[in-house]
Amino acid sequence: MPLKVKERFVLLDRDGVINQDSDAFIKSPDEWQPIPGSLEAIALLNNHGYKVAVITNQSGLARGLFDMETLAEIHDKMLIMTSAKGGDITDIYYCPHGPDDNCACRKPKPGLLQEFSQDHKIDLAGIFCVGDSFRDLQAAWSVGANPLLVKTGKGQRTLKENPNLDTPVFADLYAASQFIISQH
């Protein structure tokens, strides 16, 4: 019997990593705009044997800023635009809760990462997780993953507030993706 090849994944935060972030939240498909090079970065990862999943907090749902239908439309736009650049996002995991809901899935808690791990039967130790906020890094650390910080989105603020981070830092998702593919 042939051996099953272990799937390789890279986990990405959404807002500030793939698309432009907003302190007023991304509330509609029109507001969802990719960061230059981010969709090409996903295609680059795919072309080097990595599957890509998105792990994202979406507290705008709990805050009443948009509904599930609108979130689905935003994600459809992201998937269509990624596909048009030759990339593929296999899964999107999101936390719909607000910061005061005390759920297990809102980053920095590891719930979404653990759900991904269970669904794909993948050990998260060593898997690359790309984020722009400290809570993205904390979630990755909590499951033994390898966090990478990008300077897009909230990345510059994260660096300023945490100047002694022991985490690789990259200009954007494309630069982080080049690093990831250089590791294997």
| Closest by CA position to 116, among listed 6, 2, 11, 1 | 11
Using CA atoms, how far residue 92 sits from 14, 28, 96, in Å, is 9, 17, 12
Q: Which amino acid is located at 7 in the chain?
A: E
Q: Is the CB of residue 158 less than 8 Å from the CB of residue 17?
A: no
Q: Which two tokens stand for residue 87?
A: 């990339």
Catalytic residue among 13, 21, 132, 136: 13
Q: Among 184, 178, 183, which residue's Cα sits nearest to residue 45?
A: 178
**Residue 15 annotated among the catalytic residues of the structure:** yes
Active site residue 13: yes
Query: CB 173: neighbour CB atoms within 10 A?
Result: 32
Question: In terms of DSSP H, where are the helices of 65-133?
Answer: 68-84, 111-120
Catalytic residues: 13, 15
